[in-house]
Structure 1
Amino acid sequence: MLANYLIGLREGLEAALVVGILIAYLVKVGRRDVLPRLWVGVVAAVVVSLGIGALLTFGAYGLTFQAQETIGGLLSIIAVGFVTWMVFWMARTARGLRGELESGLAKALTGGAWAVVALGFLSVGREGIETALFLWATVQSTGGGATPMLGALLGVVTAIVIEIAIYRGVVRIDLGRFFAVTGWALIVVAAGVLAYGVGDLQEAAVLPGGSALAFDVGAAIPPTSWYGVLLQGLVNFTPTPTWAQVVVWLAYIAVVIPLFLRATRRRRPAPSLAPAPTTARTTAGVHE
Structure 2
Amino acid sequence: MLATYLIGLREGLEAGLIVGILVAYLGKLGRRDLLGRLWVGVGLAIAVSLGVGALLTWGPYALTFQAQEILGGVLSIIAVAMVTWMIFWMGNHGSSLSRELRGQVDAAVDRSRFAIVLLGALSVGREGVETALFVWANVAGGSEPMLATLGAVLGIATAIGISWGLSKGLVKFNLSVFFTWTGVFLIVVAAGVLAYGIGDLQEASVIPGWGAPAWSLTGIVQPGSVLDTVLGGIFNFTPEPTWAQVIGWVAYVAITLSLYLWMLQRRNRSAVAAATRPASVAPAAAAAPAAVVAPSTTEIRSTQ
Greater helix percent: which structure? 2
- The equivalences for 1:53-132 within 5 A come to 53-132=53-132
Once the 2 structures are TM-superposed, how far is the Cα of residue 272 of structure 1 from its aligned partner? 6.7
Matched, 1:39 2:53: no
Once the 2 structures are TM-superposed, how far is the Cα of residue 283 of structure 1 from its aligned partner? 3.0
Q: Which runs of 5+ in 2 are unaligned?
A: 268-289
Q: Name 2:279's counterpart in structure 1.
A: none
Once the 2 structures are TM-superposed, how far is the Cα of residue 138 of structure 1 from its aligned partner? 0.3
Distance in 2 (alpha carbons) for counterparts of 1:266 and 1:37:
39
Distance in 2 (alpha carbons) for counterparts of 1:281 and 1:262:
32
Q: Name 1:269's counterpart in structure 2.
A: 291
Q: What amino acid maps onto 2:222 in structure 1?
A: P
Q: What amino acid maps onto 1:269 in structure 2?
A: A
Aligned 8 A contact 2:95 2:295 in 1: no
Aligned 8 A contact 1:28 1:282 in 2: no
Distance in 2 (alpha carbons) for counterparts of 1:223 and 1:106:
56
Normalised by the length of structure 1, the TM-score is 0.95
Once the 2 structures are TM-superposed, how far is the Cα of residue 176 of structure 1 from its aligned partner? 1.9
Distance in 2 (alpha carbons) for counterparts of 1:170 and 1:16:
15
Q: Name 1:236's counterpart in structure 2.
A: 236
Distance in 2 (alpha carbons) for counterparts of 1:237 and 1:283:
45
Matched, 1:169 2:192: no
Q: Name 1:248's counterpart in structure 2.
A: 248
Aligned 8 A contact 1:91 1:176 in 2: no
The Cα offsets for residues 92-122 of structure 1, whole Å up to 9 and x where unpaired, read as 0111100000100011011112110000000
Distance in 2 (alpha carbons) for counterparts of 1:275 and 1:15:
18
- Percent identity, please: 55
Number of equivalences: 281
Once the 2 structures are TM-superposed, how far is the Cα of residue 162 of structure 1 from its aligned partner? 0.5
Q: What amino acid maps onto 1:261 in structure 2?
A: L
| SS of residue in 1 equivalent to 2:206 | coil
Q: What amino acid maps onto 1:274 in structure 2?
A: T
| SS of residue in 2 equivalent to 1:266 | helix
The Cα offsets for residues 167-217 of structure 1, whole Å up to 9 and x where unpaired, read as 110122222211111100000000000000000000000110112210111
Q: What amino acid maps onto 2:176 in structure 1?
A: G
Normalised by the length of structure 2, the TM-score is 0.90
Q: What amino acid maps onto 2:191 in structure 1?
A: A
